[in-house]
C-alpha cells in the first residue's frame, strides 16, 4: 500500500535516492538564503531589513543541515536536474523578484517588497505543509528527526512573518495590490509544484526502479492534488490572518548547531 510514510522511508533508505532528495532541498534552501540576503541589503525599511536577513540566515542554515545529513552517510550533493528546480522554474514565469534584479545595487520599491512578501507567503505555505508532513514521518527518527523538527519550526516562523508584514502593508492601503499579487503567485505555484513533483517522482522512480504501476499511481496522486488546488485549494495560499507567532523573525537568529 502506498503511503507518504512508506514512500519517504523508501527514499531515506536508499543512498542514491536520499542523495538526490537532500541535494534538491539543499539547493532550494541555498537559493532562498541568497535571495533573502540580497533583499535584506536592498530593502529601504530598516525595521523590515533585519527580519529579511534572519529569514535568509535560516535558509542558509537549512541548506547546511541537508548537506550535513548527506555527510553523515558519507555522501556528497549531486547536480540537481533542471526540471526539479522549483525556485528557478517560478522565476522563469516572472514570479517573485528576478535574480537579475537582485544583483543590481538599487533599492527595492514598495511594489518590489510586496512582490517579495507575496511570493514568500505562498512558497512558505508549501514549505510549512511539506515539513509538517516530514515531521509526522520522521519527527522521532534518530538520524534526521531533530533536523526535520528544527526546519519545520523555522518554516512556520517564516510563514508567520509573511502574514504579519503583508497585513501591515494592507493596512497602509496596499490591500488590492497584495491580493492580486497573491492570486497570481498562487496560481503559478500550484502548476509549478505539480510539474516539479512529477519530475522528482520520475527521477526517484528511475533510481529505485519502481514498476510502472507504482509510478503511475504516484503520478495520479500528484495530478489529484493539483486538481483539488486548481478548483479552489489554492486560495489557502492567499488568505491572510494575524499569526499567533508575532514578530517571529524579530531579533537575532538563535544559536543552533546541527552535527
pLDDT in tens, 104-135: 999 999 999 999 999 999 999 999 999 999 99
- The Cα–Cα gap between 249 and 245 comes to 9
User: What sign does the CA torsion over 134, 138, 144, 146 have?
Assistant: positive
- The Cα–Cα gap between 58 and 156 comes to 12
97: three-class secondary structure by DSSP:
coil
- Residue 2 pLDDT class (50, 70, 90 cuts): confident
User: Which residue do the cell numbers 509549478 mark?
Assistant: 192
Give residue 94's pLDDT.
Answer: 94
- CA 23, distance to chain mean position in Å, is 14
Q: Do 248 and 164 touch, CB atoms closer than 8 A?
A: yes
* Residue 259, C-alpha cell as written in the block: 552535527
- The Cα–Cα gap between 28 and 35 comes to 11
Confidence (pTM): 0.95
Residue 247 in this model has a pLDDT that exceeds 70: yes
User: What sign does the CA torsion over 45, 46, 48, 49 have?
Assistant: positive
Q: Which DSSP symbol is given to 253? A: P
- The Cα–Cα gap between 14 and 12 comes to 6
Kindly report the number of other CB atoms within 10 A of residue 58's CB atom.
25
Q: Which DSSP symbol is given to 143? A: T
- Residue 81 pLDDT class (50, 70, 90 cuts): very high
Burial class (CB in 10 A: 0-12, 13-18, 19+), 221: middle
Amino acid at each position: 500500500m502506498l503511503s507518504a510514510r512508506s514512500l519517504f522511508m523508501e527514499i531515506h533508505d536508499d543512498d542514491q535516492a536520499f542523495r538526490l532528495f537532500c541535494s534538491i532541498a539543499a539547493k532550494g534552501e541555498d537559493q532562498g538564503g541568497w535571495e533573502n540576503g540580497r533583499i535584506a541589503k536592498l530593502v529601504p525599511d530598516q525595521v523590515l531589513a533585519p527580519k529579511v536577513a534572519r529569514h535568509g540566515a535560516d535558509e542558509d542554515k537549512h541548506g547546511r543541515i541537508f548537506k550535513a545529513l548527506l555527510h553523515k552517510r558519507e555522501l556528497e550533493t549531486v547536480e540537481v536536474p533542471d526540471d526539479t528546480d522549483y525556485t528557478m522554474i517560478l522565476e522563469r514565469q516572472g514570479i517573485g523578484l528576478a535574480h537579475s534584479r537582485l544583483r543590481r545595487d538599487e533599492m527595492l520599491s514598495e511594489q518590489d517588497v510586496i512582490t517579495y512578501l507575496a511570493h514568500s507567503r505562498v512558497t512558505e505555505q508549501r514549505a510549512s505543509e511539506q515539513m509538517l508532513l516530514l515531521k509526522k514521518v520522521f519527527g522521532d527518527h534518530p538520524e534526521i528527526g531533530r533536523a526535520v523538527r528544527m526546519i519545520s519550526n523555522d518554516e512556520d516562523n517564516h510563514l508567520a512573518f509573511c502574514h504579519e508584514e503583508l497585513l501591515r502593508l494592507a493596512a497602509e492601503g496596499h490591500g488590492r495590490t497584495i491580493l492580486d499579487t497573491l492570486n497570481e503567485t498562487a496560481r503559478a505555484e500550484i502548476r509549478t509544484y505539480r510539474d516539479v513533483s512529477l519530475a522528482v517522482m520520475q527521477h526517484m522512480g528511475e533510481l529505485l526502479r519502481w514498476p510502472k504501476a507504482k509510478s503511475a499511481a504516484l503520478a495520479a496522486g500528484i495530478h489529484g492534488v493539483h486538481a483539488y488546488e486548481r478548483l479552489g485549494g489554492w486560495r489557502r495560499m492567499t488568505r491572510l490572518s494575524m499569526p499567533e507567532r508575532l514578530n517571529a523573525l524579530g531579533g537575532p537568529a538563535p544559536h543552533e548547531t546541527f552535527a
